[in-house]
Amino acid sequence: MTDNVTLSTEQQAQPQFAEGDRIAERAAKVFVGTAGSPGRTSAMLGRPLYLQKADGAYLYDVDGNRYIDYHSSSGATFLGYNHPRVKRAMLEAVEMGYFCNYETEAHAEIAELICDSVPSAERVRFSNTGTEATLAAIRLARAVTGRSKVLKFEGHFHGMHELAWYNSRKPATEPNEHGEIELAADTAGIPAEFDSTVVVTRFNDPESFLACMRRHKGEFACIIMEPIMYNAGCIYTDPEFAAMVREQATADGAVLIYDEVLSGFRMGLGGGQEHLGITPDLTTLAKALGGCGLPIAAVVGKREIMEGLNPIGKTVVSGTYTGHVMHVYGALEALKIMREPGFYERMGALAQRLYDGLREVLSGTGTPAVVQGLGARFGIHFGIEAGPLYHYRDVARGFDSAFNAVFAREALKRGLYLHEYGSSLTPNHHGFTAAHTERDIDETLDRTESALRAAQCASSG
Ligand SMILES: Cc1ncc(COP(=O)(O)O)c(C=O)c1O
């Protein structure tokens, strides 16, 4: 397939994958699995999608197949691939000598723009990834409060470290009389000693949350949450619940951390906190901050808390590669693009067109599913008849993961890339970018309809 050839959905249902399979065989001899990072393995292919190039809203694999992309590098490519302005800015940094562990005026400029965009941001500290940013935020919260416990919510994901990687992808369970969910680490290798530092409760469930706060009064260093549960398929946040969490954190003296690694800049410059109208104490940012998939992240927050960081405070958070010049230059240009008038209006209009269109196609094909979307990211909750969905337990119990897998495979054959990790309890989050056009969305809806019909045949046969 080439750029300028539009193939019918029937033709697209016969793509070739031989070259990618050949690379997978080679890779399997040197990686554990077929990828340098296993999250890249597509459940539909049983291996990563090996790319030849990426441009705008499209991925081009080594077999010559072109896909309209709805993965966008797990949400990191917010402006689309190969954005000419971001690319130029990065090339400028390359020309400067491509250094790290030094600073430029651009570092101060991007920090100014972040403070101007994100309500909670008065000071900025860079990280490379979301995982590092949440780790740093929790460490800082512990240092400034002198407490050790972390309160997190079932179904929320905060990166792959020992401090909070619990119950993000586990079956929903009933809380005990103190509102606590039985702790379940999301990976092997977390020492049991860490268990005493984490408490998990239900999201959007005031009773469980309040019981937990009563039980652990004065013990929490922080309450960490995704302001929208994108990681569980875009489960919405009850604004009253969010207000209660804010109030309780303040009353208890716990630091409220909004993990906006995925939600930051996604539905507006101020991200989830602006959407909810709530200002947390600390915020973690990554993904869309890098505009086009650049590894740049940050902890931002209120000055008096951020000044707990070195060199003013005693909490050390630093790194050789943080605020890498190339990523700062690229991200600065990306942020300037996001701040241009009309940017979010256009994204909002595309979101409406896509989500309304998907709902129409699902209902027209008689497929039970709920589409939940906010800003540029969404989830398709196959098997669930009615939304809106506010509870992890409802999604984890109702989601038809088997049908989802068949649909994703049929979509792939038709040139739509929706990344899937394999059978999961909740839908994966999908998303579009600023490079997607109305035409891409309309083409997507046609291909989705065809993929749904094929998936229904495959599932019933
Ligand atoms: C809300 C949230 N926090 C943290 C992370 C971890 O970020 P990273 O993969 O950059 O380490 C992710 C990644 O998906 C995320 O969605």
Top mutation candidate among 37, 73, 131 for ligand 1, by most atoms within 8 Å of CB: 131
Helices 325-338 and 105-117: angle between axes, nearest 10 degrees: 40
pLDDT digits over 401-421, tens only?
999 999 999 999 999 999 988
The verdict on the CB of residue 137 being under 6 Å from ligand 1 is no
Top mutation candidate among 156, 261, 321 for ligand 1, by most atoms within 8 Å of CB: 261
pLDDT of residue 424: 87
Residues with Cβ within 8 Å of residue 403, at least 6 apart in sequence? 382, 383, 455, 459
For residue 459, the CA-to-ligand 1 centroid distance in Å is 33
Reference 82, options 63, 69, 100, 64; nearest CA is 69
Top mutation candidate among 71, 156, 287, 296 for ligand 1, by most atoms within 8 Å of CB: 287
pLDDT digits over 182-232, tens only?
999 999 999 999 999 999 999 999 999 999 999 999 999 999 999 999 999
For residue 1, the CA-to-ligand 1 centroid distance in Å is 33
The verdict on the CB of residue 271 being under 6 Å from ligand 1 is no
For residue 98, the CA-to-ligand 1 centroid distance in Å is 26
For residue 130, the CA-to-ligand 1 centroid distance in Å is 5
The verdict on the CB of residue 157 being under 6 Å from ligand 1 is yes
For residue 160, the CA-to-ligand 1 centroid distance in Å is 8
Specify the pTM.
Answer: 0.96
CA angle 105/108/114 to nearest 5° reads 140
pLDDT of residue 204: 98
The verdict on the CB of residue 9 being under 6 Å from ligand 1 is no
Q: Which atom of ligand 1 is nearest to the CA of 130?
A: 7
Low-confidence ranges of the chain (pLDDT < 70): 1-13, 461
The verdict on the CB of residue 437 being under 6 Å from ligand 1 is no
Confirm if 298 and 133 have CB atoms less than 8 A apart. yes
- Matching residue, tokens 């340098």: 36
For residue 75, the CA-to-ligand 1 centroid distance in Å is 10
The verdict on the CB of residue 264 being under 6 Å from ligand 1 is no
User: Which residue's C-alpha comes closest to atom 8 of ligand 1?
Assistant: 130
The verdict on the CB of residue 129 being under 6 Å from ligand 1 is yes
The verdict on the CB of residue 127 being under 6 Å from ligand 1 is no
Say how far apart CA 115 and CA 442 lie, in whole Å.
37
Helix (H, G, I), strand (E, B) or coil at 298: strand
pLDDT of residue 8: 45
For residue 190, the CA-to-ligand 1 centroid distance in Å is 18
pLDDT digits over 130-146, tens only?
999 999 999 999 999 99
Confirm if 143 and 323 have CB atoms less than 8 A apart. no
Top mutation candidate among 226, 262, 273, 299 for ligand 1, by most atoms within 8 Å of CB: 262
Helix (H, G, I), strand (E, B) or coil at 54: strand
Say how far apart CA 185 and CA 439 lie, in whole Å.
43
pLDDT of residue 149: 98
For residue 284, the CA-to-ligand 1 centroid distance in Å is 9
Say how far apart CA 146 and CA 218 lie, in whole Å.
10
For residue 166, the CA-to-ligand 1 centroid distance in Å is 14
Q: Which atom of ligand 1 is nearest to the CA of 286?
A: 10
The verdict on the CB of residue 286 being under 6 Å from ligand 1 is yes
pLDDT of residue 14: 78
Say how far apart CA 138 and CA 327 lie, in whole Å.
24
For residue 199, the CA-to-ligand 1 centroid distance in Å is 20
Query: Domains of the chain (ranges plus CATH)?
Result: 9-81+344-460 (3.90.1150.10), 84-338 (3.40.640.10)
The verdict on the CB of residue 159 being under 6 Å from ligand 1 is yes
Say how far apart CA 409 and CA 400 lie, in whole Å.
15
